[in-house]
Amino acid sequence: MIKQAFIFLALILLPSVVSAQEKEDVSKMFRDVVTVEVERAKYAPAIPPPPKEEVKGKKGKKHHEVPVEEPAADTLGPTMPAPSSELTKRAQSWYTQKAVKYTKANGANSGKNVTCNVTFPFKQKMLNPENAVDGKITMDVLIEAKEGKYRYTIKNIRHIASKPDMSGGDVYAKVPEAGSMSITDLTWKHIRSEAFADAKVVIDDIKAKMTNEVQNDKDEW
pTM of the model: 0.76
- Domains of the chain, start order: 26-40+82-211 (3.30.530)
pLDDT per residue over 86-114, tens digit each? 999 999 999 999 999 999 999 999 999 99
Q: Are 148 and 85 in contact (CB under 8 A)?
A: no
150 near 87, Cβ under 8 Å?
Answer: yes
First CA to last CA distance, the chain: 73
Q: How far is CA 23 from CA 18, 26, 101, 117, in A?
A: 9, 9, 31, 20
pLDDT band at 168 (very low <50, low <70, confident <90, very high): very high
DSSP notation for 131-171: S---EEEEEEEEEEEETTEEEEEEEEEEEEESSTT---EET
Give the pLDDT score at 14.
47
CB under 8 Å to 217, separation ≥6 — which residues? Answer: none
